[in-house]
């Protein structure tokens, strides 16, 4: 069995709605805006049985408005409960 059979690659782009709430020294502020965004991810899931899998994902997110990037690593457990 090839290890690439369980490897998935995702890319996408679109519009994101950003909101921010802050409270300090008795004052509060709320702002919201639209921003362009991009996402890329790679995940690998290793089957444990016909229904259960375990794996991980590395994900990169970017928001143009604030020139902000996020990179995350996630551990995932998957269970198939519906398939057609």
Instruction: Give the pLDDT of residue 83.
Output: 81
40 closest CA partner among 75, 71, 4, 6: 71
User: pTM, whole model, 2 decimals?
Assistant: 0.71
Give residue-wise pLDDT tens across range 13-62: 999 888 889 999 999 999 898 989 999 999 999 999 999 999 999 999 99
Residue 75 scores a pLDDT above 80: yes
Domain boundaries, the chain: 3-79
């Amino acid at each position: 069995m090839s290890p690439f059979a369980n490897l998935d690659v995702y890319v996408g782009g679109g519009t994101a709605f950003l909101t921010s709430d802050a409270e300090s020294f008795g004052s509060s502020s709320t702002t919201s805006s639209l921003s362009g965004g991009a996402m890329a991810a790679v995940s690998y899931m290793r089957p444990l049985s016909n229904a259960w899998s375990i794996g991980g994902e590395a994900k990169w997110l970017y928001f143009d408005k604030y020139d902000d990037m996020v990179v995350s690593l996630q551990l995932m457990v998957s269970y198939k409960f519906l398939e057609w």
